[in-house]
Structure 1
Amino acid sequence: MADAAFAIRLLQADDYAGWLPLWRDYNAFYGRVGVSALPEEVDRETWRRLLAPAEPVHGLAAVADGALLGIAHLLYHRSTIQIQDSAYLQDLYVAPTARGGGIARALLLAAAERARGDGAAMLYWRTASDNHTARRLYDQVAELADAVIYRQVL
């Protein structure tokens, strides 16, 4: 599957059945909310937001032969250090059976193109420090920021 031709496009309403397993696998990979899943209402609301024109969240899909192979979610937000919005690549995931064929790189490039076209000044993302496979790619396409992330669950 890694050598199959694929296309990158915006997520569409009829992609839900292909998006949901990728979304759930992605969240399980990062250990979000237990081991396997976020609550179903989070899945449904995330999907609604991805398709709603008024939301600052947008989704991309890598597709081959009608099947979704990978997804990327962009979130636009204001900044205090620039006039233009920033684009946060909140999620990027490629199905394990489709890895190694350039899908992650293509999703990153498409996300940057989309953000640039939408007037964003910067695209940024984060990953786990031990996600060495992804980081090899990220080191090729972006600058590693010197930042430490703190979070406080509310």
Structure 2
Amino acid sequence: MEIRRPEAADFEAWCALYAGYAAFYQVTQTDEMRARVWGWICDPAHEVEALVASSGGRLLGLAHFRAFARPLSASTGGFLDDLFVSPEARGTGAAAALISGVADEGRRRGWSVIRWITAENNYRARGLYDQMAQRTVWVTYDHKL
């Protein structure tokens, strides 16, 4: 398995993975929305970056991440926005490898933490997350605009 930056030829496979991620979280997502996110990923000036897990020329999973300022600790952290592994590739270590890839990138940049959120009922993923990171006491709120 290889963890790497996505390439132009990955677009269709990445779209299928990202559509699977949206479906898992029951989020309506259009082709235009996926094209916009792909544009962000391909733009070195944009804050959103990505890694993909691939094996034998096939994409197994994706991770989208970005830096964020941590004023209280006067440091920069990394936020793992999206993590998804195709159902057929679950159990292969792809999710752990993607998280480790983001963490490696954060270490190279001097980030103090990699942070992410997940749904309370995402039990399978949380089993992995509990092994790789410390669950926090923070509660998340959304103020819709």
Report the TM-score range of the alignment, normalised by the length of the smaller protein. over 0.9
Alignment correspondent of 1:22: 17
Aligned length: 145
Alignment correspondent of 1:45: 36
Richer in helix (by share):
2
Can you list the C-alpha shifts for 1:67-100, whole angstroms capped at 9, x where unaligned?
1000001121222223332111000000000111
1:8 aligns with 2:9: no
1:32 aligns with 2:27: yes
| Uncovered stretches (5+) of structure 1, i.e. residues with no partner | 1-5
C-alpha contact (below 8 Å) 1:69/1:98 kept by paired residues: yes
Query: SS at the partner of 1:81?
Result: helix
Q: CA deviation at 1:41?
A: 2.2
| Uncovered stretches (5+) of structure 2, i.e. residues with no partner | none
Q: Quick one: distance in 2 between partners of 1:39 and 1:19?
A: 14
Superposed CA RMSD in Å reads: 1.1
2:122 to 128, 131, 143: 131
1:60 to 39, 44, 51: 51
Q: Quick one: distance in 1 between partners of 2:118 and 2:79?
A: 12
Q: Quick one: distance in 2 between partners of 1:84 and 1:13?
A: 33
2:131 to 135, 140, 143: 140
Alignment correspondent of 1:74: 65
Query: SS at the partner of 1:70?
Result: strand
Identity of aligned residues (%): 36
2:113 to 117, 122, 145: 122
C-alpha contact (below 8 Å) 1:56/1:77 kept by paired residues: no
Q: CA deviation at 1:52?
A: 1.0
What residue identity is the alignment partner of 1:93? F
Query: SS at the partner of 1:55?
Result: coil
